[in-house]
């Protein structure tokens, strides 16, 4: 797909005040993109805007809650007013909720769906008219490994991310049928990432939650997003462990069920107490969490070789061809010995 290089793009990032969104915004600005950052946390956006300008980049910030379509639409309009166009829309905004289903209240489940699914829908609705006006561009939506294989204690989040995957598949086909092959629709599928997501999540587990190990630094996903903004792959898994989980699910869902029963509960719990009365970011911004990395930096992996290969396809094919050549040579040598 012939999309603009990042240096020539105007990129909107929804959910940019912390975590993957913040890291991605900084990397885009370093590459020369003009960025519009949006989130609920005004303090987080202002500090991010300052960081970007300190790097010599261009940025504007808009406070918005993605569960409100009018606010999402206003972000897209702000990009047009500020820079005259919109090339790539990156939708990262999400809230977390960890609890057994039988301890989940209707309003909690609904809030997760409103932000994590409907927010993504609203983002595409707001961005598409402007991207179509440009004639080409990219929708980059951040899904999750749990959007393809649900996990216990995250029924609302898993359901929302499954919804995102279904929505994007439908949208992609409609755009192709209508002649919009120049508009990319990418699902970026992270494994567990070291961001403040787990600190901000509401929990009824009695302790602070964490992601399935191994956990990766947010830069692993940010690199996948930057690649998607230029190349628009159908999907890209960020974190090799996520690929392993999805391959196992494809091979045997029953096996994954057994793995989840055995290890899917305790592996999502830290030993740090956290009660329902402690602050969370489910319905309102949580102060003091406007940073890219979370609380697991000491154990987080800086890189994922498999993700690096996916974002460097020429190397991927070269390594594959070299491996095939070595294998063929070994088979020929073995056949010669038998003669």
pLDDT of the chain, 339 residues: tens digit per residue: 789 999 999 999 999 999 999 999 999 999 999 999 999 999 999 999 999 999 999 999 999 999 999 999 999 999 999 999 999 999 999 999 999 999 999 999 999 999 999 999 999 999 999 999 999 999 999 999 999 999 999 999 999 999 999 999 999 999 999 999 999 999 999 999 999 999 999 999 999 999 999 999 999 999 999 999 999 999 999 999 999 999 999 999 999 999 999 999 999 999 999 998 999 999 999 999 999 999 999 999 999 999 999 999 864 555 654 445 555 555 566 666 666
As for how many domains the chain has, the answer is 1
Cβ neighbors of 66 (< 8 A, separation 6 or more) are 14, 15, 72, 91, 93, 115, 118, 119, 120, 122, 123
**Coil vs helix vs strand at 131:** helix
State residue 2's pLDDT score.
80
Within-domain flag for 339:
no
56: left (phi over 0), alpha (psi -120 to 50) or beta: left
Within-domain flag for 316:
no
Q: What is the pTM of this model?
A: 0.92
Q: How many helices (H) and strands (E) does the chain have?
A: 12, 11
Which residue, chain included where needed, has tokens 């070291």? 194
State residue 328's pLDDT score.
58
Within-domain flag for 213:
yes
Is the dihedral angle over the CA atoms 243, 248, 251, 254 positive or is it negative?
negative
Which residue, chain included where needed, has tokens 């947010």? 218
Within-domain flag for 51:
yes
Look up the CATH number of the domain holding residue 42. 3.40.50.720
pLDDT in tens, 69-116: 999 999 999 999 999 999 999 999 999 999 999 999 999 999 999 999
Catalytic residue among 50, 83, 122, 157: 157
Within-domain flag for 53:
yes
216 part of the active site: no
Within-domain flag for 312:
no
Query: Which residue segment(s) compose the domain that 139 sits in?
Result: 6-303
Within-domain flag for 327:
no
Please provide the DSSP assignment of 46-65 as one string: HHHHHHHHHTT-EEEEEE--
């Amino acid at each position: 797909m012939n999309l603009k290089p990042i240096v020539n793009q105007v990129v909107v990032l929804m959910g940019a005040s912390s975590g993957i969104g913040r890291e991605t915004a900084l990397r885009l600005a370093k590459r020369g993109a003009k960025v519009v950052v949006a989130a609920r946390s005004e303090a987080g956006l202002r500090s991010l805007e300052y960081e970007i300008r300190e790097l010599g980049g261009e940025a504007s910030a808009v406070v918005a809650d993605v569960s409100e379509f009018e606010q999402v639409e206003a972000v897209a309009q702000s990009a047009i007013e500020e820079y005259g166009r919109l090339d790539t829309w990156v939708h990262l905004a999400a809230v977390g909720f960890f609890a057994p289903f039988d301890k989940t209240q209707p309003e909690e489940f609904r809030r997760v769906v409103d932000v994590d699914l409907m927010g993504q829908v609203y983002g595409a609705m707001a961005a598409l008219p402007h991207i179509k006006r440009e004639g080409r561009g990219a929708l980059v939506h951040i899904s999750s490994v749990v959007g393809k294989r649900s996990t216990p204690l995250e029924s609302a989040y898993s359901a929302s991310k499954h919804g995102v995957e279904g929505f994007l598949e439908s949208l992609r086909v409609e755009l192709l049928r209508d002649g919009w092959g120049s508009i990319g629709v990418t699902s970026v599928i992270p494994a567990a990432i070291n961001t403040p997501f787990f600190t901000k999540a509401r929990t009824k587990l009695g302790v602070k939650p964490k992601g399935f190990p191994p956990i990766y630094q947010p830069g692993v996903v940010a690199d996948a997003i930057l690649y998607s903004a230029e190349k628009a792959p159908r999907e890209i898994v960020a974190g090799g462990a996520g690929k392993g989980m999805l391959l196992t699910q494809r091979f045997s869902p029953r096996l994954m069920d057994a793995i989840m029963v055995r290890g899917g509960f305790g592996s999502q719990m830290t030993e740090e107490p956290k009660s329902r009365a402690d602050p969370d970011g489910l319905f309102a911004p949580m102060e003091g969490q406007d940073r890219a990395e979370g609380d697991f930096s000491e154990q987080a992996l800086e890189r994922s070789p498999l993700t690096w290969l996916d974002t460097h396809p020429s190397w991927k094919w070269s390594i594959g061809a070299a491996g095939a050549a070595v294998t063929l040579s070994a088979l020929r040598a073995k056949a010669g010995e038998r003669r």
